[in-house]
Amino acid sequence: DQQVKQNSPSLSVQEGRISILNCDYTNSMFDYFLWYKKYPAEGPTFLISISSIKDKNEDGRFTVFLNKSAKHLSLHIVPSQPGDSAVYFCAALPGTYKYIFGTGTRLKVLA
Amino acid sequence: DTEVTQTPKHLVMGMTNKKSLKCEQHMGHRAMYWYKQKAKKPPELMFVYSYEKLSINESVPSRFSPECPNSSLLNLHLHALQPEDSALYLCASSPRGGGRKLFFGSGTQLSVL
């Protein structure tokens, strides 16, 4: 039973354009969400997070949007760069320690 | 400093070996975690220590034994592993229990022969 879903296993985007990665969750009790970027054989790197009391959070090229009624969040990367090519995981924190990760979306930014 | 340091980066061991993975953070975080990640899968929680006490054990087999000697260090002792235990083992930490952002180390790539 996958409580956090990333339905697109992969995404290709042209350099300079916007990348939009999506994530859906099932439990309305989730109150904190995070995005991570991961290169092969490395640990995930924290990118950006959002609390359920907000609907948008921005950090440089990265913006996360949260739609609580749809139980949906998205990560926007503008402009996309070749170095952004990686696997992106969304995660939800329903309580204290048990972060729940999605299955990941592989982003490829084409030069 | 937002670094979680893991050693070794790579480890190959036989099924009868005993080895340990080490993790260190100096961010003053009081929750530390072990995750296991297989290729093309999300990280899978194994253990959580909060204030140096084991808080969560996700029904991990006893051939994996965690230890938290102090607030900065976390070890994972390995004994009699199986080939299916081959994976990337990730250590992570977060601020005082329940802190929100989770910071990962670079992982130990473990191969069990």
Backbone angles phi, psi at A82, to 5 degrees: -55, -35
Show residues of chain B in contact with A101, CB under 8 Å. Answer: 42-43
pLDDT, position A23 = 97
Nearest by Cα to A88 from A1, A8, A2, A3 = A8
Interface touch B107/A42, C-beta < 8 Å: yes
What residue in B sits closest to A86 (Cα-Cα)?
B40
Q: How many CB pairs under 8 A join A and B?
A: 57
Task: Give yes or no for a cis peptide into A44 (omega within 30° of 0).
Answer: no
pLDDT, position B98 = 53
What residue in B sits closest to A93 (Cα-Cα)?
B100
What residue in A sits closest to B110 (Cα-Cα)?
A41
pLDDT, position B97 = 55
* Three-class SS state of B85: helix
Each residue's pLDDT tens digit, A71-83: 999 999 999 999 9
Each residue's pLDDT tens digit, B44-82: 999 999 999 999 999 999 999 999 999 999 999 999 999
* Min Cα–Cα distance to chain A from B16, Å: 25
Average pLDDT, whole number, for chain A?
A: 94
